[in-house]
């Protein structure tokens, strides 16, 4: 079944762009290049709708979000077809992306009330006569700017947490995956015809459209993309003091310790590094293997990589590079590594047959080369042998990024994981922390800040409000003039009673 793309007929924008399959060149759709005025109009509609949505309350919002997941599940074949036609990734990968998205929508809908409902807070000795409440309120309109590599998951996750927290949303998908992004945005209204039209709006175009959304006065920007764009997004948002959530790139490392199950480690690293042609922010780009197990590990990796299939079949392990420019990045990194003494365990520059890149595994790669320092975002795995786990941890952490990480060790996984500077770590597998909706997801350092998913992900799209109410008078109030000796004595007594005892 082929997805119906409304923008071909619905756009009135002066300028448009075409989307094509990255390998076959087949036309997927034509989309508007929205100007700052267009963006302002979509945001204004969203603001109007936001009041209705916020006023529904948790239970009614949950009902509509559940309808939305059911609608998406019923249309999964259409969505997988669209994702394949637009990005070239195997339909199985789009299906997996959709499953993860549905888990998140369901989780956000189910847990929003628990996380965000008003709660009573202990007032403490100094404010004993006050009732204290903490409540979380919707921000208003959230702008979600998405990349092309997870064209369904990123917009849907942004929408899920923002909507569950009571906000309207404006989605700006990547110019390389707008068909899927627009489909995701429109799906909510299709599942919920009673919702005002602007509740989930969308704008399409290039960087200028995204920048216009940053400057449009939305109440938060949730940006997922590259570090460079993240800096520009933050600068643009600074003009209106618009808060930002930045989910940026990664250079995730895996540690294979002396006591690792090397077969399991090799299998997971090959999948984590090559899945989706390496075009995953949490893809495994670096591996540090203890020298005692390195020969066995490398043998296991090579035998697995040699069986990888690349192509357009549904059962291919991965497909083409989605963004043409990324092929040049991969070529630059591999050339630099080989020129500086690295060895190709599998593949090499000949593996680059744009838009496809067959798997490349490099060993003994200098730590200061671009293949180790920069995000490659292609099917390239760098494996360096280290004397011991301490050195592996040091090198894994010697990066500006800090998104995900993983460790293979039968006996010391948790200790090693605790020392890795990253937003998430998987022990004896890879990437699994992303797929558990109740776990917050995000990075440190150049990988960004703020969190999607989990309780933190819901609070990300809310503002905390503190309310106190006087329950009874206590004679002379602290909050009134004139200052008295009695006030002084009370404060002194509380201070001494509460804090002067030494705690051991
Ligand atoms: P990108 O930064 O080029 O573009 C991302 C989005 O930003 C696109 O929609 C683009 O149109 C928009 N944009 C471009 N310039 C803008 C500007 N000045 N202001 C506002 N918006 C602007 O990234 P990409 O190539 O689409 O995606 C790949 C990157 O995304 C990789 O670095 C990858 O690691 C990262 N990523 C991170 C995560 C995560 O969760 N941390 C997830 C997926 C992808």
Residue 84 CA from chain centroid, whole number? 21
* Per-residue model confidence as pLDDT tens digits over 269-292: 999 999 999 999 999 999 999 999
What is the Cα–Cα distance from 102 to 47, expressed in whole angstroms? Answer: 26
Task: Give the active site residue among 86, 247, 300, 374.
Answer: 247
Q: Tens digits of per-residue pLDDT, 114-138?
A: 999 999 999 988 888 999 999 999 9
Nearest residue to 144 (alpha-carbon basis) of 57, 80, 225: 225
Mapping DSSP onto H, E and C, the string for 93-148 reads: HHHHHHHHHHHHHHHHHHHHHHHHCCEEECCCHHHCCEEEEEEEEECCEEEEECCC
pLDDT digits (tens, 9 = 90+) for 222-274: 999 999 999 999 999 999 999 999 999 999 999 999 999 999 999 999 999 99
β-pairing verdict for 284-290 and 252-256? parallel
CA distance 462 to 465: 9
Residue 98 and residue 152 in contact, taking contact as beta carbons nearer than 8 Å? yes
Residue pLDDT, tens place only, 144-199: 999 999 999 999 999 999 999 999 999 999 999 999 999 999 999 999 999 998 99
Cis ω before 482 (30° cut-off from 0): yes
Kindly give, in sequence order, each residue whose CB lies less than 8 Å from that of residue 346, ignoring residues fewer than 6 positions away.
Answer: 301, 302, 305, 306, 359, 360, 361
Pocket lined around ligand 1, Cβ cut-off 6 Å: 145-150, 154, 172, 174-175, 206-207, 210-211, 214, 224-226, 229, 232-233, 236, 247-250, 281, 323, 375, 377, 403, 443
Predicted confidence (pLDDT) at residue 382 exceeds the cutoff of 80: yes
Annotation marks residue 247 as catalytic: yes
Residue 281: active-site member: yes
Query: What residues contact residue 428 under an 8 Å CB cut-off, 6+ apart?
Result: 261, 264, 407, 408, 409, 410, 413
- Residue 250 alpha carbon, nearest atom of ligand 1: 34
Question: How far does residue 173's CA lie from ligand 1's centre (Å)?
Answer: 9
Banded model confidence at residue 2, pLDDT cuts 50, 70, 90: very low
Q: Atom 23 in ligand 1: which residue has the minimum CA distance?
A: 225
Nearest residue (by CA) to ligand 1, atom 40, is 247
The separation between the first and the last C-alpha atoms of the chain, rounded to the nearest angstrom, is 69
- 330/371 Cα distance (integer angstroms): 8
477: burial class by Cβ within 10 Å (0-12, 13-18, 19+)? exposed
Q: Which run of H or of E encompasses 80?
A: helix 76-87
Mutate to test the pocket of ligand 1, among 147, 400, 444 (most ligand atoms within 8 A of CB): 147
List alpha helices for 377-481, DSSP H: 389-397, 413-418, 454-459
Question: Which among 273, 217, 214, 267 has a CA at the least distance from the CA of 244?
Answer: 214
pLDDT of 9 above 70: no
Calculate the average pLDDT of the chain. 94
- Give the domains, in start order, of the chain with CATH numbers: 56-115+139-248+443-472 (3.40.605.10), 252-435 (3.40.309.10)
Q: How confident is the model at residue 12 (pLDDT cuts 50, 70, 90)?
A: low
Distance from the alpha carbon of residue 498 to the mean position of ligand 1, in angstroms: 51
Does this model's pTM top 0.85? My answer is yes
Please write the tens of the pLDDT for every residue from 38-86. Answer: 999 999 999 999 999 999 999 999 999 999 999 999 999 999 999 999 9
| Residue 91 CA to ligand 1 centre (angstroms) | 22
Q: Which pLDDT value is given to residue 315? A: 87
Ligand 1 mean position to 501 CA, how many Å?
Answer: 53
């Amino acid at each position: 079944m082929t997805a119906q793309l409304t923008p071909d007929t619905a756009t009135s924008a002066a300028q448009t762009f075409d989307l094509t399959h990255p390998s076959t060149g087949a036309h997927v759709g034509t989309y508007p290049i929205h100007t700052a005025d267009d963006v302002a109009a979509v945001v204004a509609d969203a603001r109007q709708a936001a009041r209705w949505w916020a006023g529904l309350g948790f239970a009614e919002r949950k009902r509509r979000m559940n309808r939305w997941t059911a609608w998406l599940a019923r249309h999964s074949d259409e969505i997988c077809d669209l994702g394949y036609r637009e990005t070239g990734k195997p339909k199985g990968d789009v299906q997996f992306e959709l499953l993860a998205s549905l888990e998140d929508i369901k989780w956000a809908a189910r847990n929003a009330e628990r996380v965000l409902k008003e709660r009573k807070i202990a007032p403490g000795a100094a404010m004993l006569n006050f009732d204290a409440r903490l409540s979380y309120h919707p921000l208003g309109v959230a702008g979600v700017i998405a990349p092309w590599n997870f064209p369904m998951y990123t917009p849907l996750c942004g929408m899920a947490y923002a909507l569950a927290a009571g906000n309207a949303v404006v989605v700006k998908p990547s110019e390389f995956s707008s068909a899927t992004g627009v489909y995701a945005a429109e799906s909510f209204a299709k599942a919920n015809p009673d919702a005002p039209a602007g509740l989930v709006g969308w704008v399409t175009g290039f960087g200028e459209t995204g920048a216009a959304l940053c400057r449009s006065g939305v109440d938060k920007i949730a940006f997922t993309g590259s570090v460079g764009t993240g800096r520009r997004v933050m600068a643009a948002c600074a003009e209106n003091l618009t808060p930002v959530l930045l989910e940026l790139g990664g250079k995730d490392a895996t540690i294979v310790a002396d006591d690792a199950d090397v077969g399991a480690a090799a299998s997971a690293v090959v999948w984590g590094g090559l899945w989706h042609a390496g075009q995953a922010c949490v893809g495994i780009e670096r591996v540090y293997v203890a020298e005692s197990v390195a020969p066995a590990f490398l043998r296991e990796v090579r035998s697995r990589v040699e069986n990888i299939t690349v192509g357009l079949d549904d059962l291919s392990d991965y497909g083409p590079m989605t963004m043409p420019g990324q092929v040049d990045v991969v070529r630059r990194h591999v050339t630099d590594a080989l020129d500086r003494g690295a060895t190709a365990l599998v593949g090499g520059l000949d593996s680059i047959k744009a838009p496809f890149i067959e798997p490349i595994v490099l060993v003994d790669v200098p730590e200061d080369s671009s293949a180790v320092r920069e995000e490659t975002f292609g099917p390239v795995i760098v494996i360096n042998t280290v004397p011991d786990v301490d050195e592996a941890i040091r090198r894994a952490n010697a990066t500006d990024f800090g998104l995900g990480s993983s460790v293979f060790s039968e006996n010391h996984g948790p200790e090693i994981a605790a020392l890795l500077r990253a937003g998430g770590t998987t022990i004896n597998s890879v990437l699994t922390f992303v797929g558990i909706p109740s776990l917050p997801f995000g990075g440190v350092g150049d990988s960004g800040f703020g969190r999607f998913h989990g309780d933190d992900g819901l609070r990300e799209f809310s503002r905390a409000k503190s309310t106190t109410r006087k329950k009874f008078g206590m004679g002379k109030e602290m909050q009134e003039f004139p200052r008295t000796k009695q006030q002084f004595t009370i404060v002194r007594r509380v201070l001494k009673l509460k804090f002067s005892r030494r705690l051991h």
